[in-house]
Amino acid sequence: MDFTSFLKAPEINVKIVTYRDIFQDKAMIENRFGEEYRNLSAVIKLDPSDFKQLSVKKGDSVILKNSFGTVVVIAEESGYEPSHKGIAYMPSSPWSNMLVSDETGGTGVPRFKDISVTVASAKGQKVTELES
């Protein structure tokens, strides 16, 4: 047995900001359960420094957890300037919604723009299926 199998995978805390994407919307209209929609929706865009800290590469699966849910998505580099370490971006989708609090503070509107999660590598795991 390899010694590294006993080490815990690196984790980081990030705040997720959700956004709408026209290409994702088009794919959803064509087939909400299709591969194209999943590929455009089940992603998290991270700062390059967050990639290094997590020891993951573009296209690797990562697990996002908070007290409201857990989801596996694909990690992508955001490409945004300037650096935004600790801030991640996800398209508004069922995958990001799994992490949204049901607490609305009396407004009736969930907080989609300020989602705190822990991110860790999920190597070998598949993206969370919509049915689950």
CATH number at residue 112: 2.40.40.20
Is 113 among the domain residues?
Answer: yes
Report the pLDDT averaged over residues 102-121. 79
Q: How far, in whole angstroms, is CA 50 from its chain's centroid?
A: 13
Is 91 among the domain residues?
Answer: yes
Q: Per-residue pLDDT tens for 2-60?
A: 555 556 678 999 999 998 888 888 888 888 888 898 999 999 999 999 999 998 999 99
Q: pLDDT category, 103, cuts 50, 70, 90?
A: confident
Range of the domain at 44: 10-121
Q: How far apart are CA 67 and CA 105, in angstroms?
A: 17
Total domains, the chain? 1
Residue 63 has what pLDDT?
96
